[in-house]
Amino acid sequence: MYDEITNSIRVSVKPVYLEDQSSPDENHFVWAYQVRIENLSAGYGQAVVLHDVAPARWNGCIRVLRRLQALSRRHGVALPVTLLVVPCYHGVVATPPPYLWWLRRLARGGHELALHGWTHLDDGPAPRRWVERWLRRHYTAGEGEFAALDEGEARARLLEARAWAGEHGLAMRGFVPPAWLISRPGLDAVSNAGFDYTCTLSTLLALPGREALHAPAIVFSTRSGWRRMLSVWWNRWQGWRTRHAPVLRFDLHPDDADHPAVLRCWSRLLERALRERDPVCLSEAVARAREPGMHPATEGA
Tell me the site size for Zn ion, rule CB under 5 A.
Answer: 3
| 8 A C-beta contact, residue 136 and residue 142 | yes
- Nearest approach, Cβ of residue 35 and Zn ion (Å): 45
Q: For Zn ion, which is the closer residue by CB, 44 or 89? A: 89
Q: For Zn ion, which is the closer residue by CB, 44 or 220? A: 220
Q: For Zn ion, which is the closer residue by CB, 215 or 219? A: 219
Q: How far apart are CA 134 and CA 162, in angstroms?
A: 31
- Nearest approach, Cβ of residue 228 and Zn ion (Å): 18
Q: For Zn ion, which is the closer residue by CB, 145 or 211? A: 145
| 8 A C-beta contact, residue 282 and residue 112 | yes
Residue nearest to Zn ion (CB): 51
List beta partners, residue 252: 50
Q: For Zn ion, which is the closer residue by CB, 52 or 211? A: 52
Of 182, 172, 203, nearest to 286 by C-alpha is 203
Q: Does 276 bind Zn ion (CB under 5 A)?
A: no
Burial bucket for residue 232 (CB in 10 Å: 0-12, 13-18, 19+): middle
Residues 6+ apart with CB under 8 A from 150: 183, 185, 186
| The pairing of beta strand 2-6 with beta strand 9-17 | antiparallel
Q: Does 51 bind Zn ion (CB under 5 A)?
A: yes
Amino acid identity at 129: R
Of 283, 292, 297, 300, nearest to 45 by C-alpha is 283
Q: Does 52 bind Zn ion (CB under 5 A)?
A: yes
Q: Does 178 bind Zn ion (CB under 5 A)?
A: yes
| The pairing of beta strand 278-279 with beta strand 45-53 | parallel
Instruction: Name the segment binding Zn ion (CB under 5 A); options: 1-9, 48-56, 197-205, 281-289.
Output: 48-56
Q: For Zn ion, which is the closer residue by CB, 49 or 213? A: 49
Instruction: Name the segment binding Zn ion (CB under 5 A); options: 50-58, 157-165, 186-194, 244-252.
Output: 50-58
What residue ranges bind Zn ion (CB under 5 A)?
51-52, 178
